[in-house]
Structure 1
Amino acid sequence: MLLAGLLATVSVAPVAAVVVPAPALVQAQGLSDTHVEVLWSPVAGALSYDVYRGVDHVGVAVTSTLFEDTGLTGATSYSYTVTATTGGGTSAPSATATATTQIDPDTTAPTFNAGSLTTSNVTSDSVTLTWPHAIDNVGVVGFRILRGEDPASPVDIATVDVGLTYTASSLKAGTAYTFEVQAIDAADNASAPLSVAVSTPAATDMAPNQVSGPSIRVTPFSDTRMDITWGIPASDATHSPAVGYQILRNSSLIGEVDEPASPWFSDTGLTATTTYTYTIVALSSAGNAATPSAAKNGTTLAANTVKIVRGPYVEWITADSARVAWWTNIASPAVVDYGTTGLTSSASDATAVQEHVILLAGLSAGTAYQYTVGDGTVASSVAHFSTAAAPGTSFSFDAMGDYGAGSVGQTQNAGRIAGDTASFVQTLGDNIYSEAKDPNFSTTYSEVDGHFFKQMQPVFSAKGLFTANGNKEYYGHGAWFKLIWAPNNEKWYSYDWGDAHIVVLDSSQPFDASSAQYAWAQADLTAHQSATWRIVVIQDPPYSSTSSASSAEGVQQALVPLFEAQHVQLVLSGNSHNYERSFPLIGGAPAAGGVTYIVSGNGGNGHNPFTIAEPAWSAFRDATDYGYLHISVSPTAISLTEISAADGSTLDSAIIQSGTPATYHALSAPVRIVDSRVALGLATKLTNGTPKSFQVTGTAGIPTGATAITGNLTVTA
């Protein structure tokens, strides 16, 4: 039997090709003469990425979103593209990112002039060290002090930047010490040490006060480490100062901390999910022991528990992108969930590391975002940041310098900044005292933890962060630059926000007219003359009346003419631990349309009193309050308000108008000018018969029938 078949036509729909997106944004930075760092925004579902330097395939099947390209040539421009590979294929190349490596590094160490390290004023618990001047081909940024209790080798105890002397206090009586001093430069080159031996005389004293139980914090870092911190007990008529501390775990001595080291200790090698009991015993110079502190308990984490121990914090924010960073106690993947009205988007990196950074792209300008970070299981509390405001939009930011000392003033400032309306905080240098050291993140609680993240985390959780470097950032063997994710080379850079172009310079790096930094600043400012506002940040102040030597002469000579030529309106600095605002200046003299210089170095690390009379260029100064500067920027004006850390009151205020020419009034008859400051209990700026230029604001204290003047007023005899 034969079966006849039917011929049929079957249509098969074509399968749509899977289009794999390339990374939306790639950023490249020349961080040294041989090193470019490339970071890109994650692609959902990516299994790996490939990195191309020009046509060279330099990163093959990279699983992270961060690539370090090394072995490069100094002062050379490189271009990078990145492709993403998913289960559906490989993307087209991303847009190109370019970076230029830095010039060849300084490898010449400072040297001391003829002379030696000498001692004087030796007591049972202190000694004064004095050393000769040092020279360097670029510049000395500080002197590292090392101390050893014989026969132990000397270890770093402090770094100082002012003067050629240091008083080593909190020493043990009847003890032989060896001290060394090294001169260091910004490239972390150190001179050969000068050395001296000294013995403190024996003495008798009293036991210190007991370490306060409530001041002790026992915090689990991991399954094998606990961090213990405590407060320093005060001395009084019946109790000597503490010069050291014994740390006891379960009643057994496990370590000692000698001042000037900070009062914390990391206990390692522990067992997971185990409770330990700690007490602290303060010791006097003569070795008398205080009553042991009250016991504090702590339990280590379970094995492999991920904990966010630093951050999160958001840097390098633009109108459409931001870098989100944080640290975990152990290596883990990275996940950022974010959105405007909820956590509706996600970006991730599956590579397990301890220091995390995720580049968010495709954001909207002038928009508030909320976000969390974690590993996909563990997540932080919800934090916030805002993208850069669009041109024509008003915004505000905060500025603060010389703050990272773990003080009450720093903590108060951080709380007020976290709660105000500013979009971001711009630091003015000296972010961590005393040395920005971070010797081993995995094993040791450091100044980075105890003087920076602990106090500033409320700020980081509320707004973005832009940092300027001070000399302290160069004292920690490069640790600071492992923490930050600033633009360009992380030393000098610029960014745009609203109608402002903000330039951040580094006064610890060469900035004379022949330097790479000067050439960059000149080109950058020239390229942004169309911006309504040009604001410069640099730690060393061109104008400071703390002392006859506190104005940075090098900045005055090299950069002030540049600022004036490039129509900069505002320069923000720190370094002097006080607050001071100048009149608008041209050539160092008050003049309409000049540059206003502000020192806001009262962030929390003590105060520098003013030791000279207030100069004619100084409009306001204060050396008794901790505070920060709140800066509101609109298309037509910059409003400056210095805010007290203690109570939030206004310490000083001023307004810079955009493009407002000086106004002159011809007077047909003598007039009486009343300074409204007098009615407010402030010192008058007027002196009979003496020419004076100053800024006046507000109407308080103006007599009935008088005309209130707001703006820059010049009075001549």
Structure 2
Amino acid sequence: MATPGVFLISAFVFAFAAANIGGALSYTRPPPRQTLSVPLADDLDSNSPQQVHVSLVGEDKMRISWITEDRAPAIVEYGTSPGVYGSSAMGNTSSYKFITYKSGKIHDVVIGPLNPNTVYYYRCSLDSSRAFSFKTPPAQLPIKFAITADLGQSGWTNSTLQHIAASNYDVLLLPGDLSYADLLQPQWDSFGRLLEPLASQRPWMVTQGNHEIEKIPVIHPHAFTSYNARWHMPFEESVSDSNLYYSFDVASVHVVMLGSYTDFDPQSAQYAWLQADLGKVNRSRTPWLVVLIHAPWYNSNTAHQGEAESDNMRKLHGRVDL
């Protein structure tokens, strides 16, 4: 059995000061890259499934989420051979408004039970023009997580996605700041199209960051409208009352996704839920406990303060046998 371990992961990288051996090290922040905008592909129409992504639901099910611009059935057909869909499941359709913006039809379908470490082929809304596949995670260790945050949609995002694609990961964990739409709702659609080639093939498990709040006093006083509508995580299955915090088991790992931007004081619902959730962890069955949150618990960061020290540390590490 693996040695039990606990990891706390935040969306920020902690930078530690180091002795400056041999003189000062200069640092220049890399310039931003151009913001991407991914339109609907020319060969797709208003009924075509787009922005397809998958996420874990319990230990042997998967949620398939996608959007169509017009009405379409919330149905997923799936099987273990290409083009052969021996099983199907129905789900729910919703939409949301954000000031003058109205989303497309957001479909969520849970399929399963599924076998571990298996490739499944599927299609959405009975659309024969688009076929997808995903691989379920293994039932036991080893398992490979890809972890990223503050993804946004720029040239840097493309580079990050290329690294993720090359890693042959099983599950992606994203602790906050997804699309960087920042109130511009069409950017959520662009983000979904940008991610689809990866997010339709492996489960993406996310939690919120500050860029998901999207709250405007009086005009739109409700926070997380877009995030909650588009990224339905398995909070019900972990007895949470909010999509902003939840947990799940995969392989021999218990993963906890916390919410930095909902109440977390000792009297809060999140605090009580976390106590109860941790109390139910079976360390014989899931010896590894991984906790993710967008904002670190202890931090003196102001904007990008400390970024240069992080870069300097990497240079120093290259000069010593660590």
- Is structure 2 residue 227 aligned with structure 1 residue 480? yes
Shift of 1:376: 2.0
Shift of 1:316: 3.0
- What do residues 51-73 of structure 1 show as CA deviations (whole Å, max 9, x unaligned)? xxxxxxxxxxxxxxxxxxxxxxx
d(CA) in 2 for partners of 1:432 and 1:520? 28
- Is structure 2 residue 141 aligned with structure 1 residue 400? no
Partner of 1:171: none
Partner of 2:259: 506
CA-based RMSD = 3.2
3-state secondary structure, aligned to 1:384: strand
d(CA) in 2 for partners of 1:352 and 1:523? 32
Shift of 1:421: 1.4
- Is structure 2 residue 167 aligned with structure 1 residue 420? yes
d(CA) in 2 for partners of 1:217 and 1:365? 33
d(CA) in 2 for partners of 1:300 and 1:347? 23
Change (3 A) 1:219 1:522: closer
Partner of 1:389: 138
Partner of 1:610: 306
Structure showing greater radius of gyration is: 1
- Matched to 1:385, the amino acid is K
Please point out which of 126, 132, 154 is paired with 1:376.
126
Please point out which of 447, 454, 466 is paired with 2:187.
447
1:397–1:422 contact (8 Å) kept in structure 2: yes
- Is structure 2 residue 78 aligned with structure 1 residue 325? no
Shift of 1:447: 1.4
1:314–1:385 contact (8 Å) kept in structure 2: no
- Matched to 2:109, the amino acid is I
**Percent of aligned positions that are identical:** 24
1:418–1:462 contact (8 Å) kept in structure 2: no
Change (3 A) 1:513 1:453: same
1:426–1:467 contact (8 Å) kept in structure 2: yes
- Equivalent residue runs for 1:228-377 within 5 Å: 306-308=47-49, 310-342=50-82, 343-349=84-90, 354-373=105-124, 375-377=125-127
Shift of 1:367: 2.8
2:48–2:127 contact (8 Å) kept in structure 1: no
d(CA) in 2 for partners of 1:515 and 1:216? 38
2:37–2:187 contact (8 Å) kept in structure 1: no
Partner of 2:195: 456
- Structure that is richer in strand per residue: 1
Q: Normalising by structure 1, what TM-score? A: 0.33
- What do residues 15-73 of structure 1 show as CA deviations (whole Å, max 9, x unaligned)? xxxxxxxxxxxxxxxxxxxxxxxxxxxxxxxxxxxxxxxxxxxxxxxxxxxxxxxxxxx
d(CA) in 1 for partners of 2:248 and 2:37? 42
3-state secondary structure, aligned to 1:395: coil
Please point out which of 525, 528, 540 is paired with 2:295.
540
- Matched to 1:369, the amino acid is Y
- Matched to 1:306, the amino acid is N
- What do residues 336-361 of structure 1 show as CA deviations (whole Å, max 9, x unaligned)? 22223333423143988722111112
d(CA) in 2 for partners of 1:331 and 1:539? 35
Structure 1 unmatched runs, 5+: 1-214, 221-297, 439-445, 551-575, 577-607, 615-620, 625-650, 653-676, 685-695, 697-717
d(CA) in 2 for partners of 1:535 and 1:352? 32
- Equivalent residue runs for 1:559-578 within 5 Å: none
1:339–1:345 contact (8 Å) kept in structure 2: yes
Q: Normalising by structure 2, what TM-score? A: 0.70
d(CA) in 2 for partners of 1:508 and 1:338? 37
Change (3 A) 1:379 1:335: farther
1:319–1:364 contact (8 Å) kept in structure 2: no
Partner of 1:435: 182
Change (3 A) 1:521 1:356: same
d(CA) in 1 for partners of 2:121 and 2:37? 33
- Matched to 1:681, the amino acid is R
- Equivalent residue runs for 1:145-294 within 5 Å: none
- Structure that is richer in helix per residue: 2
Shift of 1:528: 0.8
